[in-house]
Structures are given as structure tokens and as C-alpha cells.
Structure 1
Amino acid sequence: MNEKYSWTENETDDIWYHGKFSSVDECIKDAISCGKKPGEKIVIGLCEDYVPQL
């Protein structure tokens, strides 16, 4: 399975703007490159494609 992950600062965000990554470690590295410091909260989740229902 080719899972994709993303991260954001708030778990209630409707849109996660930080892109898709192939691992949790890549999400953490990106968060650090965006200025997050150790101890600051981020939320990491699995991405799902939107499938419209008619």
C-alpha cells in the first residue's frame, strides 16, 4: 500500500497545506524546516483522496 501522510498545527483544520509525504518521519522533517521546535504540537494524518458522491 502506498500511503501518504500530511501534517498540520491544529487537528480541527479542514485543509492541511503542508503537502503529502511518504512517511511520518518526512512530515516531522518538513515541520522542523517550517520552523517547528521540539515540544511543539503537530498533527500527522493519513491522506485520503476525495471521491464525490452523486
Structure 2
Amino acid sequence: MATSNQQNVVQHDNAQLIFNMLKDSIPIFDGYSNNLSKFLRKSTEFYNALPTFL
């Protein structure tokens, strides 16, 4: 059985690994959130324009 100190080290390594994976995929997230905000803006414009068509 691992001591609590060893477990903390393992948890830290896992957290570092996950953080590095996230950091590497941040450009993808940036692009995605950028596209998402554009899409939301467009759909808001569309939604606001609907009454003129109805």
C-alpha cells in the first residue's frame, strides 16, 4: 500500500499530464469557442430579425 506522500505524487503527475493535454488542445478550444460565439451572434441576429418575417 502506498503512503499518502506517494499517492500525492501520483495524483500530481496525473494532474500535470491532464493539464499538459488541455494546454496542447487549447488552440482547438480557442477556435471552437470563437466559432461558437460567431454562431451565437448570427443566430441572435436571425432570432431578432424573425418578427419582421412573421
TM-score > 0.5, shorter chain as reference? no
Q: Which has the higher helix share?
A: 2
TM-score range, shorter chain: under 0.3
Bigger relative CO (Cα 8 Å, ≥ 6 apart): 1
Q: Which has the higher strand share?
A: 1
Question: Which of structures 1 and 2 has the bigger CA Rg?
Answer: 2
TM-score normalised according to structure 2 size: 0.25
TM-score normalised according to structure 1 size: 0.25
